[in-house]
Amino acid sequence: TRAPSSTAKFQDRLIGNVVAELLLEMEVKTLVGFENHSGRTYLGASAKPLAKVIKGYGNNGEDGFEGAVYNNLV
């Protein structure tokens, strides 16, 4: 996660409702919540996204994903 700074291109906070479709095989298929963050999370090569954003910003407001999965960690 990259934290904002006064010179960073992502000074603005990402605020609002978020709806995302889980990419894992689970009984529950949709995540619904509220996000309010200024940091931006970019997944490395070994992590997979938890969900695809339908509405909202997600991890960074750019790639359309929310959350991360690495081995058995969500």
pLDDT score recorded for residue 7: 47
72 domain residue, yes or no: no
CA 45 – CA 65 distance, rounded (Å): 14
Q: What is the pTM of this model?
A: 0.81
- The model's pLDDT over 28-63, given as tens digits with 9 standing for 90+, comes to 899 999 999 998 999 999 999 999 999 999 999 999
CA 29 – CA 50 distance, rounded (Å): 11
pLDDT score recorded for residue 2: 65
If one counts the domains in the chain, the total is 1
Instruction: Quote the domain boundaries for residue 28.
Output: 14-66
34 domain residue, yes or no: yes
30 domain residue, yes or no: yes
20 domain residue, yes or no: yes
- For 24, residues 6+ apart whose C-beta sits below 8 A from its C-beta are 50, 69
Contact present, 20 and 57 (Cβ < 8 Å): no
6 domain residue, yes or no: no
